[in-house]
Amino acid sequence: MPDSAVAIDRLRDSDGDLDRQALQQILPYGEEFLFIDRVTRLESAVVEATYQIPQSAPFLDAHFVGLPLMPGVLIGEGLAQAGTVMVRYNLEDHASKDLLAFQIESARFLAPAVPGETLRYHVELTQLRRRAARLEGQAFVGDRRVCKARLVLAIVDRQLLKAELSKPRAK
């Protein structure tokens, strides 16, 4: 078992879940950009997570004015975040790595999700290599599938990424 799995397992609550506080120790996102609230299943090749869509948030108030819908791209982000937890679970020294969206191979948005509903994410790891992970995921509200996607995440060394991003860039 990778050292990261042991460290992540220590964050589980008495039900074996990872709550929002634990997720903030695993994922490098601030509160406003966390689109999973709880991981209810975490294994080396499968993760399940939930996200309670808030009644009001700036992204909902603006998408669409007067008819708030959870943006499909943020449902996809939730799938990627759940997948990121699973990939980190498989890595040695996950804290020294960052996972970046590399490719959206396919994504289909099949039904809307609205404030007050709970998204349930199911993501499977289909391939893990040293520098990339391929994921297949689905998002549900109850039994209704609202999204399915295939994603590739790049696995990069955090210090190398910081060095690269600190170089002067064209504006």
pLDDT score at 130: 96
In a domain, 122, yes or no: yes
Q: Are 164 and 104 in contact (CB under 8 A)?
A: no
Residue 63 resides in a domain: yes
Please report, for the domain that includes residue 97, its CATH number: 3.10.129.10
Q: Please spell the DSSP secondary structure of the chain, one letter per residue.
A: --HHHHHHHTT--TTS-B-HHHHHHHS---GGG---SEEEEE-SSEEEEEEE--S--HHHHTTTTTS----HHHHHHHHHHHHHHHHHHHSTTGGGEEEEEEEEEEEEE-S---TT-EEEEEEEEEEE-SSEEEEEEEEEETTEEEEEEEEEEEEEEHHHHHHHHHS----
Which pLDDT value is given to residue 171? 83
- Six-digit token string for 76: 């996809």
Q: How buried is 67 (Cβ within 10 angstroms: 0-12 exposed, 13-18 middle, 19+ buried)?
A: exposed
In a domain, 42, yes or no: yes
* 32 is a domain residue: yes
Q: What is the pLDDT of residue 148?
A: 98
Q: Which residues pair with residue 169 across a beta bridge?
A: none
Residues of the chain with pLDDT under 70: none
Contact, 23 vs 40, CB < 8 A? Answer: no
**pLDDT for position 1:** 76
**Catalytic residue flag (residue 122):** no
From the list 63, 115, 118, 128, the catalytic residue is 63
In a domain, 84, yes or no: yes
| Residue 171, domain member (yes or no) | no
- Its domain, for residue 114, covers 3-166
Q: Is position 101 within any domain? A: yes
In a domain, 22, yes or no: yes
- Total domain count, the chain: 1
